[in-house]
Amino acid sequence: MLVHCLTLRFATSASAADVEAFREAIARLPSQVDFPMRTRQGPDLGERATNADYAVVSEFADTEDFRRYLLHPAHLAVPRDHVESVHSVQFLVGDGEWTGRGV
């Protein structure tokens, strides 16, 4: 399984509605792609001043599905107008077959 971790900061101009539009677009992604994908997301809890504002963790069966995701129209349509900076990392975990089901 490939895990894709994304942290981002929203611009100071981002409204609550802008952040919610981003959240909703991310939440819809698994139902819009034609391969198994699981996504979890949420705002930072504010425990450390240096943290990002928001995080998204997505899981894919393999690197090929992740690469397809990067080019998928639903991914490209996620609103990014109010995103100031993004950092990401991808890594592989496990050695068994993953179906994209479960929590």
Per-residue pLDDT of 25-61, as tens digits, reads 999 999 999 999 999 999 999 999 999 999 999 999 9
Which of 22, 97, 88 lies closest to 60 in space, CA to CA? 97
Residue 24, token pair as written in the block:
């909703």
Q: Where do the domains of the chain lie, and which CATH numbers do they carry? A: 2-92 (3.30.70.100)
Helix (H) or strand (E) holding 12: none
Which pLDDT tens digit goes with each residue over 10-23? Answer: 999 999 999 999 99
**C-beta separation of 43 from 13 below 8 A:** no
Task: With cut-offs at 50, 70 and 90, classify the pLDDT of residue 103.
Answer: very low
User: Residue 100: pLDDT above 90?
Assistant: no
Confidence grade of residue 98 (pLDDT, cut at 50, 70, 90): low
